[in-house]
Structures are given as structure tokens and as C-alpha cells.
Amino acid sequence: MRRSARTPVVSAAVAAAGLLLAACGGGSDPLSAKETDSASSSGSGGGSGSVTIGSANFSESNLLAEVYAGALKAKGVDVDTKLNIGAREVYLKAMEPGDESVDIMPEYTGVLRDYFKPDQKGTEAEEVYQELTASLPDYLTALEPSAAEDKDAVVVTRDTADKYSLTSLEDLADVAGDLTLGGDSTFKTRFTGIPGLKKVYGIEFGSFRTLDAGGPLTLRALINGQIDAGNIFTTDPNIAKEDLVALEDPKSLFAAQNVVPLVRTDALTDDIKSTLNKVSAALDTETLVKMNAEVVLDKKDPSDVAQEFLTDNGLS
């Protein structure tokens, strides 16, 4: 099914969405690095060492890296940041022995678990985290996960949801053959994509359009009617802004994706562990969505948004 553009604000929404590529997959942005000056060793955490915090090439990852950096600087840790490194395959190599150019990354429990050991069965937050920690190589440590979660979702417009009475993925089974789904290339092959939609829900879309992982191409195609459903991520503020509908996942096809600090084991200190665990304890999904909106829609500087969060939670 095809529709004409449903709103004149598409270009503005998409330009904003360009800052927010999917949390769970690598985008197509070129590799780049941004360095910040090291913080001076002062305050209660003096002598806690020097670390480099990286981020993937999407807005939420950059924001979380700034949160981690600000919290550690407040404890006297010398911090550099390398933002927009690229996809998971790129930045995890930078944490491997022999490279070690990145010490800390904001990550997501489910996709990180599947990267190291695919085809595991857990879907709920605690079991996914346990499987993750058992799957990691010795040179990496996952600290405490936050309650904040950024999951895959199949998203439709309000018009499509109303037309086909869609609230859940279960509702797609009888109508998906007439619809076009959009997402990145990995959504075609990974179980938490087209294969899982077919096996778990009996959903077979009429066609698939290769776009990006929850990023501006998928959003634009959905709003413009070039696709009928898209793989967009649950913390994307454009879901609310554009009155889109993220279909419920009652059978838990999409595993938990809690934000978690990933640290090189050799770089982990007591100060780093305690500080980042406190950050995780303070971060929930509602707060993450709000911060994303401030960066993506309100065009605030991510470091300013991060500092406000840290101040509000007594972490700076």
C-alpha cells in the first residue's frame, strides 16, 4: 500500500531524525572522531586514571557518552571522548587487546549479547543481562544496566494503525501481505527481524525496502508513504512528534535492550565502577526519551543535556 505525504513538516522531522540513528545498529555516517580536553584531576576521585569514552555514530550514543564523561570528570578522572566512531564492528575492535584506543562505550544489553553469542533465548531484562555477562570476553566488563531501554519496534502511521486496527504485532499477520516494511539490511536476516516476525507471529510482509537502522531514511519513507511499516527504535522522539504507533510485542520477539556501560577490564577502577553504576541507577526510559528530544528536536548541545541530567541527579 502507498500513501502520499501526510504532513508538510517531514523535512524538518527528518533533519532532526538524522541525529538519531538506531541504537542497535551501525549507521552510514562516515567515521569521525571528536576529542575533548582532559579534565584536570581534582575532587574526590583524583588519581583515578585516564580513560577514553567512545560512542557509535548516532545521537543517543553520543549523548550517553557525554553523560558518562561528565560523571567521571566530576570524580576527577581524566577523560577523552571519541564520538561517532561508527558501527559496533568498528568500535568494539578499538576495545580489543592490542588496540585499546577506547576504554568505555555506552551499549545495549540484547544486541551486545547477540554480537558475542547469537541465538540465545532470553528476552526479559535480567536474563538478557545474565546471558550478556556470560558471553563477554575476559577483556570486557559490563557494569550495572540501567532501567532505560531502547528497543526495536515495528512502527506504523496513525492512519495505517486505524485503517487495519493495529495495536500489536499480532494484528499484522492477516494484513502484512499487502504492506511494505522498511529497515536496514540486517533486519532481513537477523532473528529479531523478518525471520522472527514470521516464526513468532506468522507475519510475512509483501515486500521489504532496505533503508537504515531506525534512522532518517526509514522515518522519511514511513511518513511519506513509501513504506507502510518501519523498524524504528522506541526512544526516538519522532514517534510522539509525528503521532506514529509503535506496535506492541506481546510475545517478546524483541529482547530487552537496556543501556549498559561497557568497560575494558584493564581500565576498570573502583571509581569508574561506582560512578557509572550510579549513572545507570538514575537513568530510566522516560528520562532518556526526554533527553533525546532535547537534542534531536530542540537542538540542544548533547553535553549541556548530559550536564543537566547529572546535576539533577547529584552526579556532578
pLDDT tens figures, 146-173: 999 999 999 999 999 999 999 999 999 9
Query: Per DSSP, what are the bridge partners of residue 248?
Result: 168
- Report domain 10-18+152-246's class: alpha beta
Neighbours of 16 (CB within 10 A): 22
Q: Where are the domains of the chain?
A: 10-18+152-246, 43-149+256-312
Residue 34 reports pLDDT greater than 50? no
- Res 57: pLDDT: 86
- Res 119: pLDDT: 81
Neighbours of 139 (CB within 10 A): 13
Asked whether the domain spanning 43-149+256-312 has the same topology as the one spanning 10-18+152-246, the reply is yes
Q: Helix axis angle, 285-296 relative to 302-312, nearest 10°?
A: 150
Average pLDDT over residues 70-92: 95
Strands (E), 61-151: 78-82, 104-108, 140-142
CB 227 within 8 Å of CB 209:
yes
- Res 118: pLDDT: 86
Share of the chain above pLDDT 90, in %: 77
Neighbours of 299 (CB within 10 A): 10
Of 263, 270, 278, 235, the closest CA to residue 63 belongs to 235
Residue 279 reports pLDDT greater than 70? yes
Question: Does CATH place domain 43-149+256-312 in 3.40.190.10?
Answer: yes
Among 26-35, 100-109, 225-234, which is the least confidently predicted range? 26-35
Residue 40 reports pLDDT greater than 50? no
Average pLDDT over residues 27-37: 35
152, containing H or E segment: strand 152-157
Residue 127, all three cell numbers: 536474563
pLDDT band at 16 (very low <50, low <70, confident <90, very high): very low
Using CA atoms, how far residue 1 sits from 56, 135, 176, 211, in Å, is 34, 42, 10, 17
Rounded CA separation 297/16 (Å) = 6
Residue 297 phi, psi dihedral angles, 5° rounding: -90, -40
Using CA atoms, how far residue 306 sits from 63, 131, 154, 215, 294, in Å, is 7, 30, 29, 22, 10
Rounded CA separation 189/178 (Å) = 21
Query: What is the residue whose three cell numbers read 511519506?
Result: 224
CB 279 within 8 Å of CB 146:
yes
Average pLDDT over residues 241-265: 96
CA angle 193, 194, 200 (to 5 degrees): 85
Query: What is the residue whose three cell numbers read 504485532?
Result: 169
